Structure 1
Amino acid sequence: MISDNDTKLKKAIRESNCVHIRDIGHTIALPVEKQYGKDKQFKTYTKAVAGVKVREAMRETGYLLPPRQRTVARFMNLSQTIRWSKNMQRIFASPSANGKQAFDFVNTYGKTTGELSCIPGFVNYALKLIRSEGMSRKSIGMCLKEMDKILKKNNKRINRFKLSVRQYLEQERDKLANEKSVWNASSDMIESLFGCHKFKRSRNPLHGVTACVLILPLLTRTGDRGHPSAVGFKHCLEGVFMKDLESWTKDNLTDNLAVKRRKKLAG
């Protein structure tokens, strides 16, 4: 069973006696966060990146602003910001005097970003390989080999990152049933599915989970263009009536707090 590293999900999977496959995207970002998340230089750098986007937005150098930083899972999306910093260091002689002052922090924290710059290359390689070919002894071996090839810098944080990734990959390898086993190790499809559901559901949190959740099976892609699914979605939908939805909602969902609030306030 695949999931991220959420404590509740891990406990549920463990108590269900299922094998837990950790999502590679979330898991491989954890050692990056562990090594750099509390680092003063890195925190000051990210603060400067966020600040310059606000200060320079409507100025002459606005076209050079850094990419937007994510507040959630930001350690999974560092590559664009690090690449921007390296490019800014490369063209630093070009901007005007005001631009030099505004973006001077890219040089100030160049050592930190330079150290980090090799990590996205390996992470992107590992994610692309595992997501497309699955988790297998072969793909794990290729990742370990590529990690030693790309992450050549010999310092404590890089070495600790490599050790954490190696332990993760070796632990996942030990879970494989046999030499030929290939397992999915990415929860991207699940997250995309629920992302579509979140887009369609009400923005009012009081509504909670409604019968709209039943749209999830329709959002899944079963089969492919050459071999479409044998599931008769049209026939299934035609056989479901509003009374069936009401009955299912009553049996499976909690009270809709938005409706409860409206009735209560209406007197």
Structure 2
Amino acid sequence: MTGETVYPESEAVFNRAGKPVAIIKDRDATLNKGVRLWSDQQVHPVPTIDDIGHTIATSLKAQFEKLNIYKRFTALVSHGAKCLRQTELAFLMPPKLRSKGRFQSIGKLGEWAEKMLHVFAVSGNAEEGSQLAKLRKAFPHFSQSRDFIVRFASTTKIISQVMEILKNNGLDKTTYKQCFELSRKLPRNSKVKKCLQSWLKKHYIIQKNLTALPLPVSSDIIESLFGNFKHIIERSPQADMNRTVLLIPALCGKLTGTTVTQALRQASQADIEGWEKKHIPYTVRKKRHAFFNGGNSQKVGKDNTLKKHFSTA
């Protein structure tokens, strides 16, 4: 998928659903380009809103990821997590460090680390076999990272407060002032501070030009919707993007017996099959069915039958 392919798809959606007043998006380069290409074709360009969660995550990554002290700290955290897993102290394990989107939930790590500093703030030797002794063994020299942990936790705590305000209340004059004041508490040379203040100024202008109401600045709702959908399809032995995408509307809003009955009456099985053939011509299940029923499983390795059979997929 590229920006050039996102553009016509976006145009088709907006032609059917109506031109949006604004577009909330994450910082994905492909999506950014596709939206920009579409917006450039409009008489009046549509404002784009950068999702606050992804924006902050990007700034946190720029601030900390390349620091040696951060690398040592996360390595220590990972080591300690392995030591505590499936032990009596498993309840003190640090939050899991995700390989993808790590900085979107990094605030939990800062909160955990700050609490653990108090746990380790005990002078002298720990009694052999005690919980403190086991923790010190799992996280050797943890307190030596105190200065970094305090700075790291302070930053993530402020950012968590900002996101809670903006995600729950949107952006308007009141929340702009609240968040800008919070940003002043960040270190003067902080990349997170610079990014946040720049984002606030840019989007406050958008809000004033667009609406008197608070401006939605988070894509959490749509991401949560797809998260629920993924949770459902994972129950299948072959999690596949097929006609089950039609479940998504059913996960929105409040359903009543009347709306469900009406939907079932209006959408026949033939309609669903026709829609699937048009929009989802091939799925993993269909490929598997075609492969085994066509007898091609006996020809794998002998020629290019497998490649030819799925060349249109």
The total of aligned residue pairs comes to 256
Q: Which residue of structure 1 aligns with residue 180 of structure 2?
A: 144
Q: Which residue of structure 1 aligns with residue 163 of structure 2?
A: 127
Rounded Cα–Cα distance in structure 2 between residues aligned with 1:179 and 1:243 = 44
Q: What TM-score comes out, normalization by structure 2 length?
A: 0.74
1:78 partner letter: I
Closer, same or farther in 2 for the Cα pair 1:9/1:55, shift >3 Å?
same
Rounded Cα–Cα distance in structure 2 between residues aligned with 1:174 and 1:215 = 37
Q: Which residue of structure 2 aligns with residue 11 of structure 1?
A: 33
Matches within 5 A, 1:234-245: 234-245=261-272
Greater shift, 97-106 or 66-75, is seen at 97-106
Contact 1:137 1:179 in 2 (8 A): no
Q: Unaligned stretches of 5+ in structure 1?
A: 223-227
Rounded Cα–Cα distance in structure 1 between residues aligned with 2:279 and 2:233 = 18
Deviations 1:116-159 (A, max 9, x none): 121122212111111111122332222101221x32x45x3x2x
Q: Which residue of structure 2 aligns with residue 186 of structure 1?
A: 218
Closer, same or farther in 2 for the Cα pair 1:59/1:233, shift >3 Å?
closer
Q: Which residue of structure 2 aligns with residue 69 of structure 1?
A: 97
Rounded Cα–Cα distance in structure 1 between residues aligned with 2:289 and 2:210 = 57
Contact 1:10 1:20 in 2 (8 A): no
Closer, same or farther in 2 for the Cα pair 1:178/1:57, shift >3 Å?
closer
Contact 1:207 1:256 in 2 (8 A): no
Rounded Cα–Cα distance in structure 2 between residues aligned with 1:104 and 1:15 = 52
Deviations 1:52-74 (A, max 9, x none): 11123355654433232233322
Q: Unaligned stretches of 5+ in structure 2?
A: 1-22, 40-45, 296-313
Q: Which residue of structure 2 aligns with residue 164 of structure 1?
A: 195
Task: Give 1:209 deviation, angstroms.
Answer: 2.4
Matches within 5 A, 1:207-246: 208-221=240-253, 232-246=259-273
| Bigger Cα Rg | 2
Closer, same or farther in 2 for the Cα pair 1:56/1:236, shift >3 Å?
closer
Q: Which residue of structure 1 aligns with residue 7 of structure 2?
A: none
Contact 1:45 1:109 in 2 (8 A): yes
Closer, same or farther in 2 for the Cα pair 1:249/1:36, shift >3 Å?
same
Closer, same or farther in 2 for the Cα pair 1:220/1:96, shift >3 Å?
closer
2:229 partner letter: H
1:209 partner letter: M
DSSP 3-state at the match of 1:91 = helix
Q: Which residue of structure 1 aligns with residue 76 of structure 2?
A: 48
1:64 partner letter: L
| RMSD of aligned residue pairs (Cα, Å) | 2.5
Greater shift, 177-186 or 118-127, is seen at 177-186
Rounded Cα–Cα distance in structure 2 between residues aligned with 1:215 and 1:199 = 12
Task: Give 1:102 deviation, angstroms.
Answer: 2.7
Identity of aligned residues (%): 24
Task: Give 1:204 deviation, angstroms.
Answer: 7.5
Rounded Cα–Cα distance in structure 2 between residues aligned with 1:66 and 1:258 = 39
1:265 equivalenced with 2:280 (yes/no):
no
Rounded Cα–Cα distance in structure 2 between residues aligned with 1:248 and 1:65 = 48
1:31 equivalenced with 2:59 (yes/no):
yes
